[in-house]
Amino acid sequence: MSDQTRRTFLKQAAIGAAVLAYPSATVLGANDRVRVGMIGVGDRGNDLLGQVRSVSNVELVAMADVYSRRRDQAKSKVPGIQTFDDYRRLLDMKDIDGVIVASPLHIHARHFVDTLAAGKDLYAEKTMTWSIPEADKCLAAAKSSGRVVQIGLQHESSGSLVDAKQWIKDGWVGKVTQVESWMSRNTPHGKGQWVRPAPSDCTAQNVDWNAFLNGRPDRPFDPYKLINWRLFWEFSGGNCAENMVHQIAWIMTALDLPEPSAAYMSGGVFSEKDGREVPDTIAVTLDFPKDIVVTWQSTFSNKQYELGDRILGSDGTLEHHFEEALEYWPEKINRPDGEPTKGHSHDEGHMKNWVECIRSRGTPNAPAEIGYRSAIAVHMANLSYKNKKRMTLEESRAIAPEYS
């Protein structure tokens, strides 16, 4: 056993031992109240806060955030909620059933593993991790924990995915060799996507800066980077981690695809040169083992076509637009009796699905396995961009992350 293999084995064994130290979850009745805590309640966290509060018979009892403003905001929205600056105090609470992790991407893995080790069910915001080694670690923890794990890939709970899987299974699409996907946005001139002003109370006195850095090199407090962490590689996975991951997960699930065999990504900071590191204009090509090529394109300079996917098969085409029914058109040359069709399945509430699985101990719509495969696709694309070359899965795994 090599030193690296031995270290990996010991790390995973320690995770498993920590998880096994907690008793197995009991099945809650359909009417039992589910008690939930949240780690990280920034912009996305506030969206999730609203979602979980809309699910019947759920009580949001605690939240943790490194920034005092967010703790105060949570108290104003949820009277009686307990708030902590240290997430570990939340995990110590014995009467919490599930935890929502909506911290910045570079802290996901720490909160993911620690939540499972504390014997809690988990809702982890996408992308599952910041790096490939973290994805390996989190998948191992999820598998050994026996806990309910839902990744925040909302398209996995869409009616369009239900219809796509059924039509593909029924042979309507035939052999698929290419998939096209895209996501486009726009902002006013001079205002880059995601850029937010730092509030006046965002000061070193009101933020646990070391906790936010999470092992990154120490430096003086920087309110701009705290608020706009999505713009910088050491904290973020860029637009692939923020948006591509949803569509890639949907495509991978519909077609039952494994991790990509290779990835190529081009683009750059072209829309607004505002000091960001992550690109705002992107073209990604992912090769998959089943002789399938998936492309994803994105720009922050035009929103005409917004978001969509096209699965191109020998016998038909599936076209998916966000919040619209899936559409099918037959290829008459190979399926002459086929007719254009629109999907009819309804979306399922993604947060509701997680809560129902906490009660039933069922498998949620976006378990750790699809979180893992979609995260690998994101990381391969970003590594290709950073290294300015096509990256195979093996080459991507061989690159050690700058922070670990």
What would the mean pLDDT of 275-293 be, rounded to a whole number?
Answer: 97
By the 8 A CB rule, do 295 and 381 touch?
A: no
What would the mean pLDDT of 135-139 be, rounded to a whole number?
Answer: 98
- Minimum mean pLDDT range among 1-15, 41-55, 152-166, 264-278: 1-15
Q: Scanning the structure block, which residue is given the tokens 């709970």?
A: 157
Q: What angle do CA 350, 167, 177 make, to 5 degrees?
A: 100
Q: How far apart are the first and last CA of the chain?
A: 22
Distance CA 47, CA 253 (A): 25
One DSSP character per residue, 71-110 reads HHHHHHHSTT-EEESSHHHHHT-TT--EEEE-S-GGGHHH
The neighbour count for residue 343, using CB atoms within 10 Å, is 21
SS3 content of the chain, % helix, strand, coil (to 5): 40, 20, 40
What is the predicted pLDDT for the residue at 323? 82
pLDDT of 24 above 50:
no
What would the mean pLDDT of 76-81 be, rounded to a whole number?
Answer: 92
What is the predicted pLDDT for the residue at 29? 60
pLDDT tens profile 307-365? 999 999 999 999 999 888 999 999 999 999 999 999 999 999 999 999 999 999 999 99
What is the predicted pLDDT for the residue at 296? 98
pLDDT of 13 above 80:
no
pLDDT of 144 above 60:
yes
What would the mean pLDDT of 293-317 be, rounded to a whole number?
Answer: 97
The full set of domains in the chain, from first to last, is 3-156+352-366 (3.40.50.720), 158-191+236-345+379-398 (3.30.360.10)
What is the predicted pLDDT for the residue at 179? 98
Closest CA to 43 of 221, 210, 236, 227: 227
What is the predicted pLDDT for the residue at 215? 95
What is the predicted pLDDT for the residue at 32? 87
What is the predicted pLDDT for the residue at 26? 54
Whole-number average pLDDT of the chain = 93
Report the predicted TM-score, pTM, of the whole model to 2 decimal places.
0.92
What would the mean pLDDT of 210-228 be, rounded to a whole number?
Answer: 97
Distance CA 202, CA 224 (A): 9
| 200 phi, psi to nearest 5 deg | -65, -25
What would the mean pLDDT of 218-224 be, rounded to a whole number?
Answer: 98
